[in-house]
């Protein structure tokens, strides 16, 4: 068993991050690295392009370009909460049964942030241990907070061990009407007023369910912390390189600067910024048609339109590249062309060929 290198791809929505991550993994596999591509937010996009199902199981990617060295892990977000509870409450079946009937839990299950990411990272950790990979490419969710979830569970874990749980447990007991004695100790003087207000506002149900939920979660705090630590190691460890994916739009520019600042706060810096839709010159086939003899005027006219579009994109990309090189001078800026094709696998193939020349920007010891 060896310790794989990890490349974390982050970026805002709509910049082609998923396709770029897929292309990067294909490029790595084609170079001979045993590669695992993990997508946190599969949404069928990458799966479709790679020809693999959305499942918790590591699946070989059948693309010929990957030469049998690429595997994919695309866990379904809808199943994560169940997997999460199975893991947390493996030793506490009764608490798990209570969780599943807790109204608050049922209501919150949709919205609970970070759970899917945690579950996915746990799967990645297992796959990385068992799978003998050289490189793991992690395609994060398209969000400015794609890496923040690493800190969120730590806060929740702290909360579970803190005074809130004790307070809530006492409050639930009292609001249930079992005892009417005044709180002492941890529950300070002013808290009585808060309890009174809270019970008046929410009614007894919410307080009781909240208290039970937290009490049950507190039971499995250790497992929760272990899960969080594993996710942190994978995303913030020594062997991790970050690639921020952007495109020449104002929104993508703001997202990439925001993400770089977030990474900086975690003591990390992106190794590379991949700029999509940023071709510097016309595609070879466009040049061939332009220089060819006897090409119909209808084709020449369309080529003119395409060239005009490309120039407009390139102007925006030039300006962005200059700004990023000055603000994030330590990161390599990799420019990729705009690939227009109907089939996502064609785009992945085209971009992986382009990325091959830039692998050293992401892997310090690329061969």
Q: Is 233 or 345 the residue whose CB approaches another protein more closely?
A: 345
Q: Shortest CA distance to 135 belongs to which of 43, 7, 224?
A: 7
Report the nearest approach of another protein to the CB of residue 207 (Å).
11
Q: Angle at CA 272, nearest 5°, toward 15 and 339?
A: 40
Contact 257, 249 (CB under 8 A): no
DSSP conformation class of 181: P
Contact 138, 6 (CB under 8 A): yes
Q: Looking only at residues 216 through 255 of this chain, which bind another protein when binding is defined by CB under 8 A? A: 248-251, 254
Report the nearest approach of another protein to the CB of residue 70 (Å).
20
Q: Is 271 or 277 the residue whose CB approaches another protein more closely?
A: 277
Q: Is 31 or 143 the residue whose CB approaches another protein more closely?
A: 143
Q: Looking only at residues 185 through 214 of this chain, which bind another protein when binding is defined by CB under 8 A? A: 190-191, 193-194, 197-198, 200-203, 205-206, 209-210
Q: Looking only at residues 270 through 299 of this chain, which bind another protein when binding is defined by CB under 8 A? A: 283-286, 288-289, 292, 295-296, 298-299
Report the nearest approach of another protein to the CB of residue 324 (Å).
17
Largest CA distance in the chain: 96
Q: Is 57 or 158 the residue whose CB approaches another protein more closely?
A: 158
Q: Is 31 or 313 the residue whose CB approaches another protein more closely?
A: 313
| E strand or H helix that includes residue 168 | helix 163-175
Report the nearest approach of another protein to the CB of residue 213 (Å).
9
DSSP conformation class of 143: S
- Convert 55-82 to b/e letters by CB count within 10 Å (16 or more is b): ebebbebebebbeebbbbbbbbbeebbe
Q: Is 100 or 158 the residue whose CB approaches another protein more closely?
A: 158
Q: Is 55 or 103 the residue whose CB approaches another protein more closely?
A: 103
Number of shown-chain residues binding another protein (CB under 8 A): 74
Secondary structure of 211-238 in HEC code, one letter for each residue: HHHHHHHHHCHHHHHHHHHHHHHHHHCC
| Torsion sign over Cα 39, 45, 51, 52 | positive
Q: Is 281 or 312 the residue whose CB approaches another protein more closely?
A: 312
Report the nearest approach of another protein to the CB of residue 288 (Å).
4
Q: Looking only at residues 6 through 35 of this chain, which bind another protein when binding is defined by CB under 8 A? A: 12-15
Helix/strand number for the chain, H first, E second: 16, 8
Q: Is 248 or 270 the residue whose CB approaches another protein more closely?
A: 248
The set of residues, in sequence order, having a beta carbon less than 8 Å from that of 30 and lying 6+ positions away, is 65, 66, 67, 69, 352, 356
Report the nearest approach of another protein to the CB of residue 208 (Å).
11
Rounded distance, CA 110 to CA 83, Å? 14
Report the nearest approach of another protein to the CB of residue 64 (Å).
19
Q: Which of 65, 108, 240, 266 binds another protein (CB under 8 A)?
A: 108
DSSP conformation class of 110: T
Q: Looking only at residues 121 through 180 of this chain, which bind another protein when binding is defined by CB under 8 A? A: 142-143, 155-156, 158-159, 162-164, 167-168
Contact 35, 133 (CB under 8 A): yes
Q: Which of 131, 344, 345, 353 binds another protein (CB under 8 A)?
A: 344
Name the 3-class secondary structure at 307. Answer: helix
For β-strands 240-246 and 5-10, DSSP reports them as: parallel
Report the nearest approach of another protein to the CB of residue 19 (Å).
10
Report the nearest approach of another protein to the CB of residue 212 (Å).
14
Q: Looking only at residues 65 through 104 of this chain, which bind another protein when binding is defined by CB under 8 A? A: 77, 103-104
Report the nearest approach of another protein to the CB of residue 296 (Å).
4
Residue span 294-333 as binding mask against another protein, x where in contact by CB under 8 A, dash where not: -xx-xx-xxx-xx-xx--xx-xx-----------------
């Amino acid at each position: 068993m060896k310790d794989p290198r990890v490349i974390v791809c982050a970026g805002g929505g709509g910049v082609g991050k998923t396709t770029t991550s897929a292309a990067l993994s294909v490029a790595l596999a084609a170079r001979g690295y045993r590669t695992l591509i993990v997508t946190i937010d599969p949404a069928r996009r990458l799966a479709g392009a790679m020809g693999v199902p959305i499942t918790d199981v590591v699946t070989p990617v059948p693309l010929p370009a990957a030469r049998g060295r690429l595997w994919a892990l695309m866990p379904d977000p809808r199943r994560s909460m169940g997997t999460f509870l199975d893991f947390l409450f493996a030793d506490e079946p009764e608490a798990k049964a209570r969780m599943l009937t807790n109204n608050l839990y049922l209501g919150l299950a949709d919205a609970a942030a970070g759970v899917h990411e945690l579950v996915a990272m746990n799967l990645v950790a297992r796959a990385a241990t068992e799978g003998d990979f050289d490189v793991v490419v992690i395609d994060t969710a398209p969000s400015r907070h794609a890496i923040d979830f690493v800190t969120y569970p730590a806060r929740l874990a702290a909360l579970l061990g803190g005074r809130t749980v004790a307070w809530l447990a006492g409050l639930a007991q009292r609001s249930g009407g079992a005892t009417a004695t005044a709180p002492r100790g941890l529950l300070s003087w002013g808290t009585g007023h808060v309890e009174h207000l809270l019970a008046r506002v929410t009614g007894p149900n919410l307080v009781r369910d909240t208290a039970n939920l937290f009490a049950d979660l507190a039971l499995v705090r250790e497992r929760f912390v272990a899960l969080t630590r594993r996710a942190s190691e994978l995303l913030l460890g020594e062997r991790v390189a970050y690639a921020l994916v952007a495109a020449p739009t104002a929104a993508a520019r703001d997202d990439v600067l925001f993400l770089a600042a977030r990474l900086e706060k975690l003591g990390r810096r992106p190794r590379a910024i991949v700029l999509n839709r940023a071709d510097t010159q016309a595609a070879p086939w466009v040049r061939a048609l332009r220089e060819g003899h006897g090409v119909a005027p209808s084709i020449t006219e369309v080529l003119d339109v395409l060239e005009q579009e490309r120039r407009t994109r390139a102007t925006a990309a030039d300006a962005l590249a200059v700004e990023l090189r000055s603000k994030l001078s330590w990161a390599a800026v990799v420019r990729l062309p705009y690939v227009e094709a109907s089939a996502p696998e064609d785009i992945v193939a085209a971009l992986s060929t382009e990325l091959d020349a830039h692998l050293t920007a992401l892997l310090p010891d690329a061969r």
